[in-house]
Chain A
């Protein structure tokens, strides 16, 4: 479980997060939604120790962010970098192998090689293993990066708006891959319908505060859209999942 307690964060004079406390359950997919500037990405970056905590505390299971060594946390929690604008000239195999770096810090063992091979196979990357990342399509590159996170074998996986620049096929396939990972996934999403369709738990944020926490059916309502996003939209129920008419 990720436990966020009384986290306040300021950048310059602006308050990005004010006294945020929330518990993100272990297992399943949790989506963070909210308008631009709500503080979703900042919260995610704080959990992933990408930016230092100013006040309050965050724990991931028994590890305390800030106190726990970065390399120990790297075996507990992974964050998928936003699809790099300039992809490094690494092969898919190189990239996935780097997912094992927190374990071996350089020289991979036989076990690491096995995990990399299994991961490549599982994500259907065997044919692309020798290709360089900058020669792949956006969807393929995203798949390779998720494969790297998989090889990292962490209990928690964080993602910040991974669907940017992906078409519908790549987006759906990524969300399914994330569900199939079997890890605790925390994901910042812009598209509420993706959150509603693939998340077990939704956290809605507004103005640096938590506005609502619950299942998609509880959270995605016409009232919430009006309150949090300031837009009036019709919400349909399809197969027990709310769907926003856009």
Chain B
């Protein structure tokens, strides 16, 4: 209980910091309230939802694929979403944001299914092939997107989605993320099912679970959250990889108990990275993905080399 309190306290401090850090000095500006409502609060909320959502997606995907080294942003789902946005931009530039969102989710789901189909054919004795294939698969889709964007003179446009960061988040331009938050939160209702799927197909069928259906539900949830994140803030790699691995090492993989911790840790880590990214080269910004990549990798390596303790 005490731990929960301190964790909540730390997150609150981070949120206050995030509201306070920026180019405009809130104490000296008469329009401070507007700055808060239009920019700082939306940005902080966007960071929290993104961090939590991507961490949850990573945890679920690792269960569905039965491999701890995959995450949506590096194994095709994120790139699939970018492909969807590119297609809308090319063929229906006037389409509403809702159409964009649906199409990006659909292409993200399609490329996730493709990844799963490839992974199923890999020898189970070579678990490291899975993330490698994922990176190559995602890389190919990403390269395709970049090539088409280059041909269509849309490179600058596409860059916004390929490299995620939060400086563009303003009131009225991030609200889609609430849908991602709802989908991510709803996935908690299937936490048991995802954990059972993580034990393998035989174990799932033995317990009477509709294996294919649960995998599909999981992929849809992952694709929607990933696509909405790419549409609003862009691709942010590693969150879905590092955070679930840290949590799984510390608390195991019974998602019913670990998913909330995973979501919380993802939110806190990404928020801390975003604040750091805003401060390091003040008044310029370093993209959150870069900062997170460095911190997250450090924490991850440290955890790998620390002897595991038994969960009490």
Contact = CB atoms under 8 A, between A and B. Distances in A.
Interface of A: 48-50, 69-75, 78-82, 84-86, 88-91, 94, 98-99, 101-102, 106, 130-132, 135, 152
Interface in B293-312: 308, 310-312
Contacts of A84: 199-200, 203
B292 to A, nearest CB: 24
B311 A91 contact: yes
Contacts of A70: 205, 208-210
A79 B252 contact: no
A88 B127 CA distance: 14
Nearest to B192: A106
Nearest to B199: A88
B208 A101 contact: yes
B207 interface: yes
B202 interface: yes
A62 B207 CA distance: 19
A81 B199 contact: yes
A102 B310 contact: no
A101 B194 CA distance: 13
A23 B116 CA distance: 39
B63 to A, nearest CB: 8
The interface residues of chain A, by DSSP majority, are classed as: loop
Contact of B203 (A49, A71, A81, A102): A81
Contacts of A132: 252, 310-311
Contact of A94 (B205, B206, B209, B252): B252
A85 B125 contact: yes
A102 B196 CA distance: 12
B189 to A, nearest CB: 8
Interface string B121-139: 0001101000000000000
Contacts of A69: 208
Contacts of A82: 202
B252 A89 contact: yes
Contact of A91 (B202, B249, B252): B252
A85 B199 CA distance: 10
A65 to B, nearest CB: 12
B311 A85 contact: no
B166 to A, nearest CB: 32
A243 B198 CA distance: 41
10 contacts: A70-B208, A71-B208, A75-B208, A78-B206, A81-B202, A91-B254, A98-B195, A98-B199, A101-B208, A135-B308
B202 A50 contact: yes
A50 B205 CA distance: 7
Contacts of A91: 252, 254, 311
A81 B206 contact: yes
Closest 8 pairs between A and B when the two form their complex, measured CB to CB: A74-B208, A71-B208, A81-B202, A89-B253, A89-B252, A102-B208, A81-B203, A94-B254
B163 interface: no
A86 B311 contact: no
A86 B252 CA distance: 14
A50 B201 CA distance: 9
Contacts of B195: 88, 90, 94, 98
A19 B195 CA distance: 38
Contacts of A130: 310-312
A98 B194 CA distance: 12
Contacts of A80: 206
A74 B207 contact: yes
A102 B207 contact: yes
Contacts of B124: 85
Interface in B55-107: 66
A104 B191 CA distance: 14
Contact of B196 (A49, A73, A101, A135): A101
B248 interface: yes
A79 B308 CA distance: 31
Given A86-B127, A94-B252, A81 B208 contact: no
Contacts of B208: 69-75, 101-102
Contacts of A48: 205-206
A98 B196 contact: yes
A192 B125 CA distance: 28
A131 B66 CA distance: 21
Given A49-B205, A70-B209, A91-B252, 13 more contacts: A50-B201, A70-B205, A72-B208, A75-B208, A81-B206, A84-B199, A88-B199, A89-B248, A94-B252, A94-B254, A131-B311, A132-B311, A135-B310
A126 to B, nearest CB: 14
Contacts of B203: 81, 84
Contacts of A98: 192, 195-196, 199, 207
A86 B63 CA distance: 12
Contacts of A101: 192, 196, 207-209
A75 B192 CA distance: 18
